Amino acid sequence: MNIALIAHDAKKELMVQFCIAYCGILSRHNLCATGSTGKMVAEATGLEITRFLSGSQGGDQQIAARIALNEIDMLIFLRDPLKPKPHEPNDMQILRLCDVHNIPVATNIATGEVLIHGLERGDLDWRNIVRS
């Protein structure tokens, strides 16, 4: 599975902790992330992560393009709902693309854990059929 990781600044440390906790599961999949999120997670976990630009420089749009091409199977996007972001319309576009292409997406730690456990159980194996 191809898993994308994005985290707003206030949620980056939470993303790192999430990836440390589920490193065993994540290590069996292809990971990509926006720049600083990917760097922090890779340094903390040793996971191999394809890193794009930082979100504010277009990394989120690079991931959005991969979603539109059906190259992403799951998105974990830890958002900070309390602080408005100058590039928030990009966030909505990513979520819309996930809806259009039936990409499972988590926007907080609770749904992230549900998706990661489903991934481990094989609940998301249908993505292999959709992608091929």
Token output for 107:
């926007």
Per-residue model confidence as pLDDT tens digits over 64-95: 999 999 999 999 999 998 877 665 667 889 99
CATH of the domain at 105: 3.40.50.1380
| Percent of the chain scoring above 70 in pLDDT | 95
Q: Which residues are catalytic?
A: 60
Full domain range(s) for residue 13: 2-131
Start-to-end Cα distance in the chain: 12
Does this model's pTM top 0.75? My answer is yes
**Mean per-residue pLDDT of the chain:** 93
Domains of the chain: total: 1
Q: Alpha helices, DSSP H only, in the chain?
A: 12-21, 23-26, 35-45, 59-68, 88-100, 109-121, 126-131
